[in-house]
Amino acid sequence: MAVTESTSEMAPGSEVGALLRALDGQRRHVLGILDELDAEALRRPVLPSGWHCLGLVQHLALDVERFWFRAVVGGDEEIIHGLTSGDEAWNVAPEVLAGDVLDRYRQEAEFADALITTTPIDAALAWWPHDLFGEPHLHTLRDVLLHVITETACHAGHLDAARELIDGRRWLVLT
């Protein structure tokens, strides 16, 4: 279940290629662990904090992929001006279809990959959210890629635990 096409086009020995393959692996994990869950199960909170799998995927689409790549790396003014504070992305409106949230995640990954593959790895960030994070602690596309890989992997682990609580299914990671 490939999330992006550009990952396979990257030169095997390139740093960007290696980082994109790592990120793509985590993206596939996020989508794979949710495979075959119905809409009700995707919206079922199983931890005391009350989040559900669909909300986490929407968070990954909007607060991670879109925010870090399209806003911070790319400087997309429309996205920057449309940002909200708080945890709104975690809240999926009842009328929003589960498939639409999953498709949005795939689309944001594609947008991110297009930006990543056309931006030098050492490129300075186009924008930094001082109001959220103070002084910059990430400075280049490389830094953002490493941050997003880490955050996506962390959330993939959260989804592993949620899925096991929902129906006992476990994701075996051998790499």
For the chain, the structural domain boundaries read: 6-167
- Here the tokens at position 84 are 């909200």
Q: What is the pTM of this model?
A: 0.91
Q: What is the pLDDT of residues 61-115, one digit of tens each?
A: 999 999 999 999 999 999 999 988 778 999 999 999 999 999 999 999 999 999 9
Q: In CATH, what is the architecture of 6-167?
A: Up-down Bundle (1.20)
Query: CB–CB of 115/148 below 8 Å?
Result: no
Task: Please identify which residue in the block is written with the tokens 């899925």.
Answer: 163
Q: What is the pLDDT of residues 111-157, one digit of tens each?
A: 999 999 999 999 999 999 999 999 999 999 999 999 999 999 999 99
